Amino acid sequence: MLFGSPTIYAVDVITNITADTASVTTTQLRRIYSMRQVKWANGVPITIFVLSSTHTTHQKFCKETLHLFPYQLDRIWNKLTFSGMGIAPTVVKTEEELIKAVKSTTGAIGYIENIDEVSDVNLLKIDE
Amino acid sequence: MSICLKLMNKMSYRLMCLSALFTFNAIAQDDYSAEPLKIHGFVAQGAIDVDGSNFVNNDGELSFKLTEIGLNTSYQISDDFRFAAQAVFLNGGNRYNEGIRVDYFLMDWNAYSSEQWQANLFVGRIKNTHWLHSSTRDIPFARPSIILPQGAYFDGFRDIAVGGDGAALKLTYNNDEYGEFDFNFSRGKSPINRDDAEVILSKLAQGNIEHGLDAQASFYWRPVFSQWKFGLTLLDSEFNYKSEILDFFVDGRFVFQFYTMNALYEGEQWEFTTELLQTRFKTEGFYVPQFGQDNLGQGSSFQLRYKIDQKLTLISRYDIFYTDKDDKNGRKLESRSNGLVPNYFGYQHDAMLGFSYDFADDFRVNAEYHWVEGAARLNPIVLPNSLVNNKERWDMWAVQFMYWF
Largest Cα–Cα distance in chain B? Answer: 69
Tens of pLDDT, residue by residue over A62-72, are 999 999 999 99
Facing B227 at nearest CB: one of A2, A38, A54? A2
Mean pLDDT of chain B: 90
Range with the lowest mean pLDDT among B3-12, B85-94, B173-182?
B3-12
Tens of pLDDT, residue by residue over B226-262, are 999 999 999 999 999 998 888 888 999 999 999 999 9
Tens of pLDDT, residue by residue over A2-52, are 343 444 557 999 999 999 889 999 999 999 999 999 999 999 999 999 999
B84 touches chain A (CB under 8 A): yes
**Spatial CB neighbours of B13, under 8 Å, sequence gap ≥ 6:** none
Residues of A in contact with B127 (CB under 8 A): 83-85
Can you give the residue ranges of every domain in chain A?
12-127
What was the ipTM of the complex prediction?
Answer: 0.89
CA distance linking residue B385 with residue B390, whole number of Å? 8
Residue B29 confidence (pLDDT) above 50: no
Could A84 and B361 be called an inter-chain contact, meaning their C-beta atoms sit closer than 8 Å?
Answer: no
B386 touches chain A (CB under 8 A): no
CA distance linking residue B153 with residue B137, whole number of Å? 8
Range with the lowest mean pLDDT among B27-36, B61-70, B96-105, B351-360?
B27-36
Contact B220, B192 (CB under 8 A): no
Residue B148 confidence (pLDDT) above 90: yes
pLDDT for the residue A4: 38
Element (H, E) at B124: strand B117-127
* CA neighbor of A82 nearest in space, from B229, B402, B85, B23: B85
Tens of pLDDT, residue by residue over B112-134, are 999 999 999 999 999 999 999 99
Facing B174 at nearest CB: one of A36, A47, A87? A36
CA distance linking residue B141 with residue B331, whole number of Å? 40
- Angle subtended at Cα B182 by Cα B108 and Cα B299, rounded to the nearest 5 degrees: 110
Nearest CA in chain A to B169: A85
Query: Mean per-residue pLDDT for A67-82?
Result: 96
* Per-residue pLDDT band at B203 (split at 50, 70, 90): confident
Please state the pTM of the whole predicted model: 0.89
Range with the lowest mean pLDDT among B27-31, B41-45, B51-55, B329-333?
B27-31
Could B170 and A85 be called an inter-chain contact, meaning their C-beta atoms sit closer than 8 Å?
Answer: yes
Rounded to a whole number of angstroms, the distance from the CA of A71 to the nearest CA of chain B is 9
Tens of pLDDT, residue by residue over B218-236, are 999 999 999 999 999 999 9
* Per-residue pLDDT band at B16 (split at 50, 70, 90): very low
CA distance linking residue A1 with residue B170, whole number of Å? 28
Range with the lowest mean pLDDT among A21-35, B13-27, B35-49, B322-336?
B13-27
Mean pLDDT of chain A: 90
Residue B217 or B12, more confident = B217
Preceding peptide of B140 cis, ω within 30°:
no
* CA neighbor of B350 nearest in space, from B330, B327, B377, B386: B377
HSE-up (13 A, CA, CB side) for residue B289: 0
Residues of B in contact with A25 (CB under 8 A): 176
Percent of chain A with pLDDT over 70: 93
Question: What superfamily would CATH give domain A12-127?
Answer: Periplasmic binding protein-like II (3.40.190.10)
- What's CA B207's distance to the chain center, in Å? 25
